[in-house]
Amino acid sequence: MERMSRPHVRLLGQGIRYLTTLRGGGSAFPGLVMEKLHPGFVAEELAKLPHGVVVVSGTNGKTTTTKMAVQLLRAQGLKVFTNRTGSNFVRGVAAALLGEMSLTGRLDADIAVLELDEAHAVHFVKQVEPRYALLLNVMRDQLDRFGEIDTTRRMLARIAAATTGTVVLNREDPRIASLAEHVPEGTGIRWFGLSAALRPLFPSDDDMRSAGGPEAGADHEDELAPRPAAAVELSSFEANRVRLLVEGRPVETTVDLYGVYNIYNAAAALALALAVAGPDADRPALLAELSRVTPAFGRGETIEVGGRPLQLLLVKNPAGFRLSLASARPGDYATMITINDEYADGRDVSWLWDVDFHSLREGGVDVVAGTRAWDMALRLDHDEVPVREVVPGLGDALRRFVAGAGDRPMRVFCTYTSMLELRRELSRVAEVAEI
Give yes or no: residues 228 and 315 share one domain: no
Q: Is residue 22 part of a domain?
A: no
| The last residue of a domain, from among 291, 307, 328 | 291
Count of structural domains, the chain: 2
Give yes or no: residues 280 and 319 share one domain: no
Residue pair 191/169 in contact (Cβ under 8 Å)? The answer is: yes
Give yes or no: residues 277 and 314 share one domain: no
Strand-strand pairing, 241-246 and 232-238? antiparallel
Q: What does the angle CA 365 – CA 332 – CA 428 come to, to the nearest 5 degrees?
A: 65
Give yes or no: residues 84 and 204 share one domain: yes
CATH code of 402's domain = 3.90.190.20
Q: Positive or negative, the Cα torsion across 235, 237, 240, 241?
A: negative
In degrees and rounded to multiples of 5, residue 132 shows phi and psi of: -130, 150
What local confidence, expressed as pLDDT, does residue 183 receive?
97
- Global pTM reads 0.83
Q: Is residue 30 part of a domain?
A: no
Q: Is residue 60 part of a domain?
A: yes
Active site residue 348: yes
Domain that holds residue 83: 49-90+104-291
Residue pair 179/157 in contact (Cβ under 8 Å)? The answer is: yes
Q: Is residue 154 part of a domain?
A: yes
Give yes or no: residues 378 and 316 share one domain: yes
| The last residue of a domain, from among 291, 315, 347 | 291
Q: Is residue 257 part of a domain?
A: yes
Give yes or no: residues 250 and 360 share one domain: no
Give yes or no: residues 248 and 178 share one domain: yes
CATH code of 165's domain = 3.40.1190.10
| The last residue of a domain, from among 256, 291, 326 | 291
**Helix, strand, coil % over all residues of the chain, rounded to 5:** 45, 20, 35
200 SS3 class: helix
CA distance 329 to 282: 37
414 bridge partner residues: 314, 338
Give yes or no: residues 135 and 190 share one domain: yes
Give yes or no: residues 318 and 189 share one domain: no
Q: Is residue 273 part of a domain?
A: yes
Give yes or no: residues 128 and 275 share one domain: yes
State yes or no: cis peptide before 226, omega within 30 of 0: yes
Give yes or no: residues 185 and 252 share one domain: yes
Q: Is residue 29 part of a domain?
A: no
Please pick, among 341, 348, 381, 396, the residue that the annotation labels catalytic: 348
Give yes or no: residues 76 and 180 share one domain: yes
Query: Mean pLDDT, 10 residues at a time, over the chain (435 residues)?
Result: 71 82 69 83 93 95 93 96 74 88 91 91 93 93 70 94 98 95 97 94 72 53 78 93 96 89 94 96 95 84 92 88 81 92 88 92 95 97 96 96 94 94 93 80
What local confidence, expressed as pLDDT, does residue 188 receive?
97
Q: Is residue 27 part of a domain?
A: no
Strand-strand pairing, 111-115 and 53-57? parallel
